[in-house]
């Protein structure tokens, strides 16, 4: 994949859904397809769908139909089945509404394009949790060779936003689940990245209902090492280096200085993260 020529990232949904008189920009015709011939996309970054929102959308579909076509690609040239690229909420709502056919736009898309378009659609609608967004970024950078600068430009985000979102994957699974359910915000997650015990502090943040600023202050109090019975401020350069390494590696990194030398610790929360770290080390 790395040797393949990179295509421009993020052509945007307007280029794909710029329909005029039933035809999309680029000549793709909108057609009706049996709903059972469509399967969920393998590159859909969104995993959580609000049941109440789906019910409301299903009611709208019953009354007005599916107003915007789904974007799909053919699974196989000799197969009548299609893979969903964009519009999974509409597809699920149409199923609930009892529709037998839905309008689709069929496009020939490579895997990387499928993931990019699905990501762009969800980000434009603000449908993703911060962890779903981070995992999509990681897949684009790790599996398809996209840079953080590529993503920032294509998605209309700052490079720091992309980097900070990726850093959230360095949190323990327990904290990541709290971000996915909305118990914690992305701001809370970024504050907890520098904590020595993010799981315990995350529980305290949720229990006390702390905002992001209060969470940052809590982490600072709990993380600073004790010197002479009092907590000393972390060395600013060390803290900055920890953040940089965490951002680049996608794992939480802590550095503990000693009188001579010190220790650099990589924190992983599952075997996939460990395998990815070992692969990076072997590649060097």
Phi, psi at 106, each rounded to 5°: -95, 125
Beta pairing class for 38-39 and 82-86 = parallel
For residue 115, what pLDDT is reported? 78
Domain ranges of the chain: 13-128, 236-284
Averages of pLDDT over each 10 residues, the chain, 284 residues: 43 42 50 89 74 86 88 76 87 91 88 79 73 86 81 82 88 91 92 89 94 92 59 59 76 77 82 77 69
Strand 101-106 relative to strand 70-74, pairing: parallel
The pLDDT of residue 187 is: 93
What per-residue confidence (pLDDT) applies to 192? 92
216 is catalytic: no
Instruction: Return the closest-CA partner of residue 193 out of 231, 226, 158, 163.
Output: 163
CATH architecture of 13-128: Alpha-Beta Complex (3.90)
* pLDDT recorded at residue 16: 43
- How far is residue 247's CA from residue 227's CA, in Å, rounded to a whole number? 29
pLDDT at 28: 57
Comparing CA positions, the residue from 74, 247, 52, 69 lying closest to residue 159 is 247
Q: What is the pTM of this model?
A: 0.57
pLDDT for the residue 27: 43
Give pLDDT, residue 175: 93
Which of the 8 DSSP states describes residue 35?
A: G
Maximum CA extent, the chain: 76
* Strand 230-231 versus strand 226-227 pairing type: antiparallel
Per-residue buried b or exposed e for 243-275, using 16+ beta carbons within 10 Å of the residue's own CB: bebbbebbbbbbbeeeeeeeeeebbbbeeebee
pLDDT score for 107: 86
Q: What is the pLDDT of residue 118?
A: 78
Backbone angles phi, psi at 20, to 5 degrees: -140, 115
The catalytic residue among 32, 83, 88, 216 is 88
* pLDDT recorded at residue 78: 58
d(CA 73, CA 91): 14
């Amino acid at each position: 994949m790395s040797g393949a020529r990179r295509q421009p990232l993020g052509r945007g949904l307007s280029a794909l859904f710029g329909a005029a008189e039933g035809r999309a920009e680029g000549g793709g015709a909108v057609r009706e397809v049996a709903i059972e011939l469509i399967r969920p996309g393998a590159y859909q970054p969104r995993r959580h769908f609000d049941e109440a929102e789906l019910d409301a959308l299903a009611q709208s579909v019953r009354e007005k139909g599916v107003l915007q076509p789904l974007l799909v690609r053919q699974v196989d040239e000799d197969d009548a089945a299609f893979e969903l690229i964009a519009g999974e909420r509409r597809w699920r709502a149409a199923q609930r509404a009892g529709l037998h056919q839905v309008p689709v736009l069929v496009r020939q898309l490579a895997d990387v394009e499928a993931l990019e378009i699905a990501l762009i659609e969800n980000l434009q609608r603000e449908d993703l949790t911060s962890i779903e967004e981070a995992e999509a970024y990681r897949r684009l950078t790790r599996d398809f060779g996209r840079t953080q600068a590529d993503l920032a430009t294509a998605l209309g985000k700052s490079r720091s936003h992309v980097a900070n979102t990726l850093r959230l994957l360095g949190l323990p699974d327990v904290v990541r689940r709290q971000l996915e359910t909305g118990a914690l915000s992305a701001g809370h997650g970024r504050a907890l990245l520098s904590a020595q015990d993010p799981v315990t502090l995350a529980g305290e943040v949720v229990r006390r209902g702390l905002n992001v600023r209060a969470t940052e202050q809590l982490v600072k109090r709990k993380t600073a090492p004790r010197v002479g019975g009092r907590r000393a401020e972390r060395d600013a350069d060390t803290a900055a280096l920890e953040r940089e390494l965490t951002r680049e590696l996608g794992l939480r990194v802590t550095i503990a200085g000693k009188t001579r030398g010190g220790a650099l610790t990589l924190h992983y929360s599952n075997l996939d993260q460990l395998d990815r770290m070992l692969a990076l080390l072997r590649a060097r």
